[in-house]
Structure 1
């Protein structure tokens, strides 16, 4: 029975449609991959890149699916093409949301044997008949969530509950980024091993409260501001060639070994994508060098021109 009266809940207004509304909304990005794998049925083997987050292994290990790593080049593209046998699939990561055009090329080559990891490319349109996963919390202030498109069906009846994974989101308002940092890591750890469930009512309501077009415009504007100044210094020289709907970060590839530390010391928190690569790859590999030297600069909707100029002053100072 619906409750009437009593205390108030959070006031979350509905801004309109959610991107990928025709996908399957689940509780985590890694469970979106699990959904795809379960829906496909008899999988013999999966190929995945060395340069990726280790959580992608979680559903593969859980389902006891054989996997093999492959290498990429300095353009984040396959070093060599695959001849996939029946029951074999290729996972490709749309790195930083800048490889949309390359994903379309792979879709033509591998068709329904391709699984696109769009965790870093939330705004990239799903290609019909191509298995695809998204992780909206990489772009939005959410406790969890994932979206799947699969060439098959798997029944998920139970809905998740996510209120106990929101403390870092709330603390950041009152205490700032450092005040909620420990909670962020603790809440992220809670996502490990979660059973595959439908998206929670709370996370769904949070997603409906977002102005997606404004976020997209802000991100693209900030990306272009940084690229206009840093483009010639960026050793990642493919950004101007690639076509993308909306990047997640500005990937700045620099051999300045002190730059990451300098940014962090000045309050610009830049992550490492991904530290697990250091254990998977040789130090001379492209993947190792990318994980070590590529700095993902924040460009998201929280920041304006002044923020971008602040970042540029640190880099150029």
Structure 2
């Protein structure tokens, strides 16, 4: 207990999420911890994937076999029988595939790693291994979670989350441009995949988030965008009961110029991801998709502004 002294922020919500999981500084550290504990020899990866996990896999000298996904973002073919020491990683893209992944893993769940880095609110599927990333959904500097049947030794070292709060505070104060360089520094600090404990700062901030409000806003904002753009979207990804990361709008043309132009209007869109293995469809996902935000910061006025600018940009391209 500490009495007196300098002041502090005080946020009170006291929510919990994935408190039964092993917690690390990042999802990639969680994946590394599992692969090392399980003695994995081979992993099947989709060829539409963030390359941040590859150093962890390569450091353990695990063989990689790539598989293709279709426009439904699911494997074109799932291996019929996966051998001991081999694992098939399924990405819950944009948090929208939970039901379909649950069906895919039902026959042999222990052979699957479900990458829920983009699906924080999707439940862990029994007997699979699941990994999560808190910071993709919440304003915290670090945090990843792991569910697995393997015994995992908790790290002794704690991640220094307190050193990487500047971008979050500056963004909250409306200083987006000033915060960007600090954001890049925070991301770089998480490139180290050797497991560390999730920081106490992030544990505290995690508990202060109004998770029900966040879930409701993400769903309502997604539904609004789905109603607006579904007819032109080459993805068919209805909301159902999912809590989405974003609304992926897959168009029949390259959107790079649109993304650049939108920055001038204060609209910043991420790009997911350049193809790691040559395959035309996955290159199209990166080149032709606008990943539209749906998070809780977007009120009705913000959503109207976003939609009108996206519609205008598409019309200018078509014109």
Q: Distance in 2 between matches of 1:77 and 1:200?
A: 34
CA distance in 1, matches of 2:108, 2:177: 44
Residue number in structure 2 paired with 1:130: 128
2:305 alignment counterpart = 310
Q: Is the 8 A contact 2:37 2:151 kept in 1?
A: yes
Unaligned runs of 5+ in 1: none
SS at match of 2:215: helix
Aligned positions of 1:18-167 closer than 5 A: 18-40=16-38, 42-82=39-79, 83-158=81-156, 159-167=158-166
Contact preservation (8 Å) 2:15, 2:210: no
CA distance in 2 between partners of 1:55 and 1:250 (Å): 22
**TM-score, normalised by the number of residues in structure 1:** 0.93
Of the structure 1 ranges 155-164 and 223-232, higher mean CA displacement relative to structure 2 is found in: 155-164
TM-superposed CA distance for 1:45, in Å, is: 0.4
Q: Secondary structure at the match of 2:142?
A: coil
TM-score by length of 2: 0.92
Q: Contact between 1:50 and 1:70, CA under 8 Å: does it hold in 2? A: yes
What count of residue pairs does the alignment treat as equivalent? 308
- Asked whether 1:300 is paired with 2:295, we answer yes
Q: Give the structure 2 partner of residue 227 of structure 1.
A: 226
1:246 and 2:258 aligned: no
Secondary structure at the residue paired with 1:296? Answer: strand
After TM superposition, give the deviation of residue 268 of structure 1 in Å.
Answer: 1.1
- Tell me how far apart the structure 2 counterparts of residues 194 and 132 of structure 1 sit (CA, whole Å): 17
Instruction: Note the C-alpha offset of 1:194.
Output: 4.7
Q: How far apart are residue 175 of structure 1 and its match?
A: 4.7
Deviation string 1:108-141 (CA, Å, 9 cap, x unpaired) is 1331010000000001011111100000101011
Distance 1:132 1:287 in 2: 24
Runs of 4+ in 1 over 3 A off after TM superposition: none
8 Å CA contact 2:247–2:294 kept in 1: the answer is yes
Shift of 1:260: 2.3
Alpha-carbon distance in 1 for matches of 2:284, 2:112: 26
Please tell me whether the aligned partners of residues 218 and 295 of structure 2 are also in contact (alpha carbons under 8 angstroms). yes
1:189-208 matches, within 5 Å, as 189-208=188-207
Are the equivalent residues in 2 in contact too, given 1:262–1:314 (CA < 8 A)? no
